[in-house]
Every structure is written in C-alpha cells, then in structure tokens.
Structure 1
Amino acid sequence: MSRFSLQGRTALVTGGARGCGLAFARGLAEAGADIAIFDVISPEEGFYEIEKDLGVRAVYYKVDVSSEESLRNGFSQFQKDFENALDICVPCAGINRHIPFLDFTYKDHGDLLSINVLGLYFTAQLAAKQMISNGTKHGSIVLVASMASHIAVRSQLCSAYCGSKGAVRSMCPAIAKELAEYVSLEDHTNLQEANPFKGIRVNSISPGYVRTEMTASFPHLLEGWKSEAMNGRIAEPEDIMGACVFLASDASAYMTGQDVIVDGGVTRW
C-alpha cells in the first residue's frame, strides 16, 4: 500500500474549487500530498477543511486557465510559495455547453476550447517544464478527459464538448511520448527499499456522469443518465477520486499514455 502514498509530494489541481476538481484535491491530500488549486471562483468550504482535517498544506490561487497571462502568473506565484516543488498536476478545469450542433456559434466554441483544450494543454506544459527543471522523480500529469470522448452522448447536445475532450484524450499519449525521455529506470537490487521509477508520466481520466454543479444545470437529464449506467446511478465526485490518486501515485508507475474510464459502464453497453 506504500505505493499509493503521496507523502512529501506537491500537487496542483486546476478547477479545484468544487466538483471533481475538489474531490481530486481532497483525494490527493488524503494520500499525503500538499495541494494547490487554480480556479476563477472561490473554493467551497470543503477545500479549507483539507488543512484542518489532513494536516497538509492547501493553497488557493485565483487563476483563469483560458488566459495565458493569468496562468503564467499563477504558476509564478505557486513556484514561489511552494519553493518550486511540483510532483503532480491535474488539469481539471472545464466547461460544457448544452447547445445543438446547428446552433453552435464561433464564440460558444471558442470559449469552450480556450478552457477545455488550450487551458489544459498549457497547464500541463508549464507543469512539465517545472518538473523537468526541478528534476522531479515522481512526476505525474493526470489530464481530465471524459466519457464523451469515447461515445456520442445519447441524452445531451454536446458535440463541441465531445470534440474538446476527444482532443484531450488524443493529446495524452502524444505528450506522454515526448516526456518519456525524462523517465528512466534506476538499478535497485531491493525494490522494497527504493522506488525504481523517476520522471514524468502522463495519463488521462474519462469520467462518466458525475453529480456536480456543472451537471446540476441539466436537472431534466438526471434520470436518463441513471438509466444509461449499468449500476443505475450517477457518480459522486468521490467515486472518481480513487482513479486520480492511483494515476498520481507510484502504484501506476508503469502506466503512461493511457486513459482510464470511470463511467459506471455507460460506454460498454
């Protein structure tokens, strides 16, 4: 179980003020990591309970990932506050638009892509540069894609969202390959005494229907979503948490360029 521990590591989660992002931050903190979150909104009370409950550091930065200036300034302040430490990055910030394909506008699409694709891509890039500069030995970037990148969502009009998350899932193995040169195997005779892996791994998570503030804006769809899942329910953010901790930790040390679907079986029937 020690392979799941994140003691002594630092994690950055974008979109961490609420929903899945907050659950990811909480899960990483429960495993022992210090936490920083970037978001444009103030965190829910649950974020401020992390330090009190778990004894790790938890810091919020108001950052708009769709703005290059805001994102770079956020990283600059984060580096100062955490003394350049960064082991885990989870770019989770994202938006959706329930708009028919024939009605989508350039502005609608641009707003969505600026957060879901560009914001995520450059968050991962800045994180990787910091990890490389620091010689991070346990670097893990966990991109947040979606079940919507695998299927045509039956009950929702979200073609642009599907495309944006498809971009995330497609870029994951490509980024992983480019960062693979920073991953190496050390020679240890006793693997119980030292973790043999170091470097930067890149994987993605594809959540299914999750009960968050974003999905709450579609109350008329909730019952239909339940019927699409094999287990007949919508996920809570905590149901996705474990996959993130797994991918961030040494328990997944041989995984890179992969996508983990956590969707209650929606994409499998």
Structure 2
Amino acid sequence: MSKFSLQGRTALVTGGARGCGLAFARGLAEAGANVAIFDVIDPNPAFYDIEKVCSVRTAYYKVDVSSQESLENGFAQFQKDFDNALDICVPCAGINRHLPFLEFTYKEHHDLISINVLGLYFTAQLAAKQMIANGTKHGSIVLVASMASHIAVRSQLCSAYCGTKGAVRSMCPAIAKELAEYGIRVNSVSPGYVRTEMTAAFPHLVQGWKSEAMNGRIAEPEDIMGACVFLASDASAYMTGQDIVVDGGVTRW
C-alpha cells in the first residue's frame, strides 16, 4: 500500500472548489499530499476542513483557467507559496451546456473550448514546466476527460462538450510522449454521470442517467476519486498516455 502514498508531495487541482475537483483534492490529501486549488468560485467550506483532518497544507487561489494572465499569475503565486514544489497536477476545471447541436452559438462553444481545452492544456503545460524546473522525480499529470469522449451521450444534448473532452483524451498520449523524457507521466480519467453541483442543473435527466448505468445509479464524486489518486501515485508508475473510464458501465453496453 506504500505505493499509493503521496506523503510529502504537492498537488494542484483546478476546478477544486466543488464536485469532482474537490473530491480529488480531498483524496490526494488523504493520501498525504499538500493540495492547492485554482477556481473562479469560492471553495465549498469542506475544503477548509482538509488541512486539519488530513494534517497537510492546503491553499486556495482565485484563478480563471480560460485567462492566460490569470492562470500565469496563479502559478506564479503558487510557486512562491509552495517553494516551487509540484509533483501532481489535476486539471479538472470544466463546464457543460445542455443544448441541441443546431442551436449552439459560436460564443457558447468558444466558452467551452476556452475552459475545457485551452485552460486544461495550458494548466498542464505550466505544471510540466514547473516540474521540470524543479527536477520533480515523481511527476504525474492527471487530465480530466469524460465518458463523453467515448460515446454519443444518450440522455443529454452535449455535442460541443463531447468534442472538448475528446480533445482532452486525444491530447493525453501525445503530451505523455513528449514529457516521458522528463520522468513525468500523463494519464486521463473519464468519469461517467456524477452527482455534482454542475449536473444538479439537469434534474430532469437524472432518471435517464441511472437507467444507462449497469448498477442503476449515478456516481458520487468520491466514486471517481480513487482513480485519480491511483494515477497520481507510484501505484501506476508504469502507466502513461492511458485513460481510465469510471462510468458504472455506461460505455460497455
């Protein structure tokens, strides 16, 4: 079990104020990592309990990942506060829109790309640069994709979201190949339907989501947490460029 330990390591999670991002931050902290989060909204109060409960260091930075200036400033402050330490990065910030393909506007699609693709890509890039500069020995970047990158989602109109998450999954092995020489692993996790504040906006779709899962329920953020901790830890030391689907079997039948 020591392979799963993140004792003494430092992690950064974007979109960590709530939902899956908050669960990932808590899971990494429970495994022993110091954790910082970037988000545009104030954290769920539960975030402030992590430091006390897990006996690790935590920090919150108000950062808009779709803004190059905000992202770079956030990294600069994070580097200063954590003495350039960074071992794990989980770019989780993302948004979705429930709209028909024929009604999607340019601006709505652009907003998704700015956060889900560009924000994630440049978060990973800045994290990799910091890891390389600091000579990180156990660097792990865990990109957050989605089962929507594997299938046409049946119960939701989300063609643009599927495209952005498909971009995440396809860039993962390419980035992994380039960073392998620095000892940095890059993998992705693809959650299925998860009960979060974001999906709470679609209560009329929940019953359909449950019927699509083999086990008849949608996930809680904690159900996805273990995959993230596994990919961040030495337990997955021989994995890079891979995607783990955690979807209750939705994509398999």
2:195 aligned with 1:221, yes or no? no
Task: Specify every segment of 5 or more residues in structure 1 that has no aligned partner in the other structure, as ranges.
Answer: 183-198
- Matched letter for residue 67 of structure 1: S
Q: How many residues align?
A: 253
Aligned pairs (5 A) from 1:16-165: 16-165=16-165
2:167 aligned with 1:167, yes or no? yes
Structure 2: distance between partners of 1:138 and 1:231:
35
- Matched letter for residue 5 of structure 1: S
* Structure label with greater radius of gyration: 1
> Could you report, residue by residue, the CA deviation over 1:29-59 in whole angstroms, capped at 9, with x for unpaired residues?
0000000000000000110000111110010
RMSD: 0.3
Task: Report how far residue 180 of structure 1 moved.
Answer: 1.1
Structure 1: distance between partners of 2:228 and 2:10:
14
SS at match of 2:46: helix
Give the TM-score taking structure 2 as reference length: 1.00
Structure 2: distance between partners of 1:53 and 1:31:
12
Task: Specify every segment of 5 or more residues in structure 2 that has no aligned partner in the other structure, as ranges.
Answer: none
Give the TM-score taking structure 1 as reference length: 0.94
- State the match for 2:239 in structure 1: 255
- State the match for 1:210 in structure 2: 194
Structure 2: distance between partners of 1:265 and 1:130:
37
- Matched letter for residue 253 of structure 1: A
SS at match of 1:38: strand
- Matched letter for residue 209 of structure 2: W
Structure 1: distance between partners of 2:212 and 2:11:
33
Aligned with residue 215 of structure 2, among 214, 221, 231: 231
Structure 2: distance between partners of 1:65 and 1:139:
21
Structure 2: distance between partners of 1:257 and 1:51:
31
> Could you report, residue by residue, the CA deviation over 1:240-267 in whole angstroms, capped at 9, with x for unpaired residues?
0000000000000000000000000000
Structure 2: distance between partners of 1:160 and 1:148:
10
Structure 1: distance between partners of 2:178 and 2:198:
33
